Amino acid sequence: MNAGSATARRLAPIVGLVLAAFFVVLAVSKPRGDVEVASPLIGNPAPAVQSSLIGGGDFELARRKGSWVVLNFFNSTCVPCRNEHPELVKFADEQESLDGGAELFTIVNDDSDEAVSAFFEKNGGAWGKVRDPDGTIAVAFGVAKVPETWVIDPSGFVRMRVAGEITASLLAGRLAAMGGPANGGGS
């Protein structure tokens, strides 16, 4: 046996332990959803989005002008998407109670109607679920991975992008800071 293989055998358990510790840290750490991500779309008109809704009907982003719109890119098997879902339910409920509250839509990323419907049936969320069967909406917005959340103002301009999990308080706070709906009403 040569010295190189003996050294490798001694280091293998140490390397394995370091890797295991790294994965434990990743598994228990809370993702940061409070980081807005730069995008060339910020401050520009939102991409044209037209598609159908799960459950029936059509969605056209341009027809939402006059309202604050929040688009949340989602997949039912995505762990961070599942983690943030209760926060989106809370946000949607809060916005529904406001005069001029923001409209929330889920953009379904690489998932089946059945899986998405089952997820929402179990976990709540009565807002529209927009199909993106070929990924054109995700590409138009430059979505790298889900979850990703975008805010469109009443004039149809992109105002914010958040990559990763988001909270109801962060989203509502940023909307209010941009002149959007705030607790207490008004847009």
Q: What is the pLDDT of residue 17?
A: 66
Q: Is residue 44 part of a domain?
A: no
Same domain, 15 and 84: no
* 178 vs 186, higher pLDDT: 178
Owning domain of residue 26? 1-30
For tokens 């997949």, the residue is 75
Same domain, 141 and 74: yes
pTM passes above 0.85: no
Q: What is the pLDDT of residue 39?
A: 84
Q: Is residue 70 part of a domain?
A: yes
Name the domain count of the chain.
2
Sign of the dihedral defined by the CA atoms of residues 144, 148, 154, 159, in that order: negative
Same domain, 65 and 95: yes
Instruction: Name residues whose C-beta falls within 8 Å of residue 141's C-beta, 6 or more positions apart in sequence.
Output: 39, 41, 47, 71, 73, 148, 150, 161
Q: Is residue 162 part of a domain?
A: yes
Same domain, 76 and 117: yes
CATH number of the domain at 77, please: 3.40.30.10
- Tens digit of pLDDT for each residue in 9-40? 777 777 666 666 555 554 444 444 446 777 88
Q: Is residue 41 part of a domain?
A: no
